[in-house]
């Protein structure tokens, strides 16, 4: 049995992972949860755990210049401090939940050769943590950096709920198609379970087997709501022009996907 300490007891992925292990009766994984934000992790003895899964961080907030310091304090410095604690406590594996945001505003297909270039405090602070934590790796302490794309599923936060809200009030939508890497929460949870079982290390880019398409996603959401959608081809030129000028339009309609050859 692998003893796992999850840092981020109140995180969406953390809570879902605990439920997943219990619901699927995964007897090979023993999971304990602790919060990082209130400092209770400092009271926990790390010795005896096989792996530490770090999920705590600041995300899904509208960024302001005044928030830069707190992003680095929580997403970078705190994560590194916890990783150091895990190493000196002889934990075998440290899994750091990073993000596709380390690639910034890159558009198109992300491959193994694509260099990270974050543009937000969130992405920059996560990349800074990655760079420091990976330096701790040695033969006795394995580090896994996970960079998931947009996560969707019941109760998820972030961009997907915004897309659902958009779909709810959008009877007319551009007939414009794109490619987006996405991952269902259950797929991500099983992926994490496998990393823990085999004590994998390195950089990981999990995603669904098929790319998402904003237009098709909206159609599917509205169909489940019992609502009709009218696709307008004349909007295509407008979308292309807006993509070049408005960031949110690029996020909705732009291409942002991992190569299927990436791990």
What is the distance between the alpha carbons of residues 149 and 99, in angstroms, rounded to a whole number?
A: 7
Kindly report the backbone phi and psi dihedral angles of residue 238, in degrees, each rounded to the nearest multiple of 5, phi listed first: -65, -40
Q: Which residues are catalytic?
A: 122
What does the alpha-carbon distance between residue 31 and residue 149 come to, in Å, rounded to a whole number?
24
Contact 50, 92 (CB under 8 A): yes
Mapped onto helix, strand or coil, the DSSP state of residue 69 is helix
**How many distinct helices (H) and strands (E) make up the chain?**
9, 12
| Assigned token pair, 109 | 């297909």
Single out the residue of 159, 157, 147 nearest to residue 100, CA to CA.
Answer: 147
Given a contact cutoff of 8 angstroms between Cβ atoms, the answer to whether 183 and 206 are in contact is yes
CA distance 121 to 190: 29
Cα gap 227→229, rounded to integer Å: 7
């Amino acid at each position: 049995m692998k003893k796992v300490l999850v840092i981020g007891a109140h995180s969406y992925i953390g809570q879902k992972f605990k439920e997943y292990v219990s619901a699927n009766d995964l007897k090979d994984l023993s999971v304990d949860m602790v919060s990082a934000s209130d400092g209770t992790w400092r009271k926990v003895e790390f010795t005896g755990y096989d792996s530490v899964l770090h999920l705590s961080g600041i995300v899904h907030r509208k960024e302001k210049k005044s928030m830069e310091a707190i992003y680095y304090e929580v997403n970078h410095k705190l994560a590194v401090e916890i990783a150091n604690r895990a190493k000196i406590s002889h934990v075998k594996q440290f899994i750091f939940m990073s993000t596709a945001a380390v690639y910034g505003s890159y558009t198109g297909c992300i491959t193994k050769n694509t260099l990270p270039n974050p543009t937000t405090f969130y992405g920059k602070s996560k990349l800074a943590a990655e760079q420091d934590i990976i330096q701790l790796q040695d033969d006795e302490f394995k580090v896994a950096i996970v960079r998931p794309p947009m996560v969707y599923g019941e109760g998820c936060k972030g961009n997907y709920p915004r897309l659902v809200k958009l779909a709810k009030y959008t009877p007319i939508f551009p007939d414009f198609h794109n490619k987006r890497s996405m991952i269902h929460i259950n797929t991500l949870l099983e992926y994490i379970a496998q990393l823990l079982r085999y004590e994998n290390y390195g950089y990981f880019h999990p995603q669904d087997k098929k790319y998402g398409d904003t237009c098709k996603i909206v159609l599917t959401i509205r169909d489940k709501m019992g609502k009709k959608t009218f696709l307008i081809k004349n909007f295509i030129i407008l979308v292309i022009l807006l993509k070049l000028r408005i960031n949110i339009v690029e996020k909705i309609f732009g291409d942002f996907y991992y190569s299927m050859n990436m791990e």
